[in-house]
Chains A and B, each alone.
Chain A
């Protein structure tokens, strides 16, 4: 057993436990987009950063991949951690503004605006779908292709894979394409902040189905262009 302190609370965990698991055992919430029980840790989204060590030695690590160490002092919500998370969320919003999951996390962390060049990707390359396909569905139908800014997830040659069973697990786990904010279907909408805008974002023809409460509002940005 390894004993460590998370937010000053001592906790004993088995060897090989990650900081994320230890923290959730104590009930400390750590947001994450690329981690899921039953799938291997990947450390792609960086949202689960925590601060370890003390003084000038203190550093940020991704808790989903960092194994618990004897005597380690972990802070899951220090000002440095929160600042880093806010920045990560802002960057995620810059690439994937229409993801309801990311929007909710951003709202919960007090991110009210996004200062970067707006893009409209539908993937944050978290690799959840790839691991789901390989580790739970045993299909290995999708994977990463290319690299750098051209990196993408999909099937080889972009044609339906022979081994894909259309199980839909990849879409089920996707944080970027599930529960998209669709105010044009009010029963699914959670935020509704765009309702008060003039013209209203509910105008589906005009704005496609991207809408949110963001400042600047994604839909409004599209209209300007």
Chain B
């Protein structure tokens, strides 16, 4: 239809992006390819790539046996999906009624001015994406701004610059010492009781936990942060997000496996003994931050 080409919106032009078909297939596998799973699948792809690449949508349509128009229609219908790559940091300014009367439009303008972009756009350096949302349900705290999942309440335009600076530094960085929920633990193998702590390699400024892992016919070491609550890791092999990994003790080579399943994703939990008495269990799926601690 020629009229479509004539009305083509410049903003809709799609940018090609590298897509790993295996990753998409893995995501589809987890969702059983059920009809109702489309939105969940697209959400995971968006979480992985920061946007929905054209190739990924085509793969999803092929694998789920659905017409591409349906998948594309869903992907363009919901505001939370984006076909364009987004910036590293997502800033959402609430323009709901309550925030609006408390001056949210001025906050949005201030963000637009300081970032030099309009709402819905991404900065040329791909650091920030600015968007406006209609209500976040936190009306009493308005005007509300959400940056990378962190909520900021009662924002004034004078605070905008500070927020942008904080976001650049990284809001997810954990301040050890200030947060009492984060503390180091000392763990050992539940089978041979050898300590798993590795002084030679530190993560988050604390000795790391050393284990061996195997996945997808690959083997290697994995270092976990010993800070309870931190999910920093270092690995010999790149473990793709969503991969369930088998954990082994580096000393007795026994598989670290218990009878628990992750309450979040259903993958097996990996048990380790905490020195001083108790058990810590972490989810064996890369990217799932589920963990449990039982202290005696």
Q: Show the binding face of A for B, using Cβ within 8 Å.
A: 122-123, 129, 134, 140-147, 150, 152-158, 161-163, 170-171, 177
Q: Are A145 and B72 in contact (CB under 8 A)?
A: yes
Query: 24 A-B pairs, CB-CB below 8 angstroms?
Result: A122-B3, A122-B7, A140-B68, A140-B69, A140-B70, A142-B1, A142-B69, A143-B69, A143-B70, A144-B73, A145-B72, A146-B76, A146-B77, A147-B77, A152-B7, A153-B4, A154-B4, A155-B1, A155-B69, A156-B57, A156-B68, A156-B72, A158-B5, A158-B12
A119 → chain B, closest Cβ, in Å? 12
Closest A residue, CB atoms, query B83:
A157
Give A118 to B187 CA distance when docked, in angstroms: 72
Kindly identify which residue among B3, B14, B54, B76 contacts A177, using a CB–CB cutoff of 8 Å: B3
Q: Which of A144, A155, A157, A170 has the most CB of B within 10 A?
A: A157
Closest B residue, CB atoms, query A170:
B1
A167 → chain B, closest Cβ, in Å? 12
Q: Are A141 and B76 in contact (CB under 8 A)?
A: no
Give A122 to B57 CA distance when docked, in angstroms: 28
A157 → chain B, closest Cβ, in Å? 5
B67 located at the interface, meaning its Cβ lies under 8 Å from any Cβ of chain A in the complex: yes
A28 → chain B, closest Cβ, in Å? 34
A213 → chain B, closest Cβ, in Å? 24
Q: Are A157 and B72 in contact (CB under 8 A)?
A: yes
Give A43 to B72 CA distance when docked, in angstroms: 23
| A140 contacts across to B, CB distance below 8 A | 67-70
| B54 contacts across to A, CB distance below 8 A | 157
Q: Are B4 and A158 in contact (CB under 8 A)?
A: yes
B8 located at the interface, meaning its Cβ lies under 8 Å from any Cβ of chain A in the complex: yes
Q: Are B3 and A141 in contact (CB under 8 A)?
A: no
| B1 contacts across to A, CB distance below 8 A | 129, 142, 154-155, 170-171
Kindly identify which residue among A155, A157, A162 contacts B14, using a CB–CB cutoff of 8 Å: A157
Interfacial residues of chain B within 63-101, with CB under 8 A of chain A in the complex: 67-73, 76-77
Closest A residue, CB atoms, query B9:
A150
Q: Are A145 and B73 in contact (CB under 8 A)?
A: yes
| B70 contacts across to A, CB distance below 8 A | 140, 143
Closest B residue, CB atoms, query A134:
B67
| A158 contacts across to B, CB distance below 8 A | 4-5, 8, 12
Closest B residue, CB atoms, query A139:
B67
| B71 contacts across to A, CB distance below 8 A | 156
| A156 contacts across to B, CB distance below 8 A | 57, 68-69, 71-72
Give A162 to B57 CA distance when docked, in angstroms: 14
Give A1 to B9 CA distance when docked, in angstroms: 51
A122 → chain B, closest Cβ, in Å? 5
B95 → chain A, closest Cβ, in Å? 15
Give A154 to B1 CA distance when docked, in angstroms: 8
Q: Mark B12-40, 1 if CB is under 8 A from A, else 0.
A: 10100000000000000000000000000
Give A140 to B7 CA distance when docked, in angstroms: 20
- 12 more contacts with CB within 8 A, not counting A145-B76, A171-B1, are A129-B1, A140-B67, A140-B68, A143-B67, A144-B73, A150-B9, A152-B4, A155-B4, A157-B54, A158-B5, A161-B68, A162-B68
B15 → chain A, closest Cβ, in Å? 11
Q: Which of A129, A142, A154 has the most CB of B within 10 A?
A: A154
3 cross-chain pairs, A with B, having the tightest CB-CB distances, nearest first: A143-B69, A140-B67, A156-B72
| A134 contacts across to B, CB distance below 8 A | 67
Give A146 to B69 CA distance when docked, in angstroms: 11
| B72 contacts across to A, CB distance below 8 A | 143, 145, 156-157
A156 → chain B, closest Cβ, in Å? 4
| A122 contacts across to B, CB distance below 8 A | 3, 7
B217 → chain A, closest Cβ, in Å? 35
